[in-house]
Amino acid sequence: MHVPTIHEARAGLRMAVSYAGRVLPQGSSVALERRMRGWEESHKLAACDAVVASYGKAGRTWLRVMISRYFAHSHGLHIETMMEFDEFHRRDSRIPILFFTHDNYLPDYTGTDDKWKNYAGKKVVLLVRDPRDTAVSQYFQWKSRIRARKKIINGYPLGETELYDFIAGEAAGIPKIIRFMNAWAESLPHMKEALVVRYEDLRTNTHEELAKVLRFVGAEIQAASLDEAISYASVENMRRIEQGNAGNKGYNQRLKPTNANDPSSFKVRRAKVGGWQDYLTDEQTATVNDVVEKTLAPVFGYGAK
């Protein structure tokens, strides 16, 4: 019989309290649920060896699969699923505990959105991606994968919305992503151990960038395991894995499609750098380029396209 870990117990308590809180008015129930999620995240943060933070749909699943496969292969573990929190470490204490977060809820618990305060004393890998690509990928995530309750607690649009209106909107589009990235840009100079990794660089030079991440979180690089992790996490293989997981309730829920017959519902969709341009008119492209050029902190290196 599986005995829940303290982190699994906290997750269960968070879900129970959040569910019970739905009898409250919506504003209060949302505030309670966000605070409870922040409470759970604060405990994971305290227990982890390093943090991998990113905005949603910035390529974290791909990085997470590579990291998970690397540690499984290099330590001889027969684990096919992605690292959730400490389950790899419990199998081999040499493997670091990594806290993967979209940094959504911690401020609801701590009362501040200053990243350098919330993540003080922790190694932080910040994965960033061009906000235009992120926003388009978020649109398809919102349309096909995000549960209704998650839309409510994260302030996403609830009705039908066209792609451009979504990505240009304040609620969930490029402006919101830029606010997230700018908040991190402000805190980075105050953080002693922070590594910024661009999704585009990870695509272009996967071996070097992945090795950089692994060294940063405390791994000793083994070339064979690095090659295996990168090969395993190829777009083609991840799509095959996800297709194979359709309808499999026992597999890691993060890597399976909502609808096996709808390519846009897959977690691994296109993985194309600059693919956002395929969806916009010239006028819309000029508008979003202007927003990025004028409002995004230059430290990340994303200018107009």
In DSSP notation, the chain reads: -PPPPHHHHHHHHHHHHHHHGGGS-HHHHHHHHHHHHHHHHHHHHHH-SEEEEE-TTSSHHHHHHHHHHHHHHHTT----SPP-SSHHHHH-TTSPPEEEE---SHHHHHS---HHHHTTTSEEEEEE--HHHHHHHHHHHHHHT--HHHHHHTT---S---HHHHHHSTTTSHHHHHHHHHHHHHHGGG-SSEEEEEHHHHHHSHHHHHHHHHHHTTPPP-HHHHHHHHHHT-HHHHHHHHHHHTT-TTS-TTSS-S-TT-GGGSSS----TTGGGGG--HHHHHHHHHHHHHHS-GGG-----
In this prediction, residue 257 carries a pLDDT of 53
Alpha carbon distance 291, 286 (integer Å): 9
In this prediction, residue 102 carries a pLDDT of 96
In this prediction, residue 277 carries a pLDDT of 87
In this prediction, residue 254 carries a pLDDT of 58
In this prediction, residue 266 carries a pLDDT of 47
> Please, which residues bridge with residue 100 across strands?
52
In this prediction, residue 267 carries a pLDDT of 52
Domains assigned to the chain: 1-47 (no CATH), 48-300 (3.40.50.300)
In this prediction, residue 79 carries a pLDDT of 86
In this prediction, residue 36 carries a pLDDT of 95
- What is the full per-residue pLDDT of the chain (305 aa) written as tens digits? 677 799 989 999 999 988 888 988 999 999 999 999 999 999 999 999 999 999 999 999 999 999 999 999 999 998 888 899 999 999 999 999 999 999 999 999 999 999 999 999 999 999 999 999 999 999 988 888 788 899 999 989 888 899 999 999 999 999 999 999 999 999 999 998 999 999 999 999 999 999 999 999 999 999 999 999 999 988 788 777 766 554 444 445 555 555 555 554 445 555 677 888 889 999 999 999 999 999 999 999 997 55
Closest CA to 9 of 35, 43, 32: 43
In this prediction, residue 108 carries a pLDDT of 97
